[in-house]
């Protein structure tokens, strides 16, 4: 969530937890290079891009790791839809997320 407060500070939060605050001065520095008329939309676009890019890179690595494992697990067909593919991987008995792998 991206929102402005009354004193024109921009706050970025996720699940109601504030992650970042941009003061008017910091916003002004960014606005030196980004038109103020599109500033809010541009900040939203940048945050969305970062999270989508992270997802895409993680999904690519997940597929590289799990395509051979699914074959070894005897899976006959894999979905082409990324969410369905991830759900298939998560349902495998030998699947472990990062925390579980780190704890081993």
- Is the pLDDT assigned to residue 3 strictly greater than 70? no
Contact predicate 30/12, CB 8 Å: no
Tens digits of per-residue pLDDT, 59-102?
Answer: 999 999 999 999 999 999 999 999 999 999 999 999 999 999 99
- Is the pLDDT assigned to residue 27 strictly greater than 60? yes
Residue with tokens 């969410």: 83
- Is the pLDDT assigned to residue 11 strictly greater than 90? no
Check residue 12 and give its pLDDT: 85
Check residue 5 and give its pLDDT: 45
Check residue 17 and give its pLDDT: 87
Residues sharing a CB contact under 8 Å with residue 31, sequence separation 6 or more, in sequence order: 39
Q: Tell me the pTM.
A: 0.79
- Is the pLDDT assigned to residue 39 strictly greater than 90? yes
């Amino acid at each position: 969530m991206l929102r402005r407060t009354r004193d024109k500070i921009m706050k970025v939060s996720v699940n109601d937890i504030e992650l970042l605050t941009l003061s008017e001065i910091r916003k002004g520095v960014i606005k030196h290079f980004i038109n103020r008329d599109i500033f809010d939309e541009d900040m939203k676009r940048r945050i969305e891009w970062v999270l989508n890019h992270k997802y895409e890179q993680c999904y690519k690595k997940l597929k590289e790791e799990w395509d051979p494992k699914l074959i070894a697990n005897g899976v006959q067909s894999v979905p082409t839809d990324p969410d369905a593919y991830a759900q298939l991987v998560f349902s495998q008995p030998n699947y472990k997320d990062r925390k579980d792998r780190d704890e081993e």
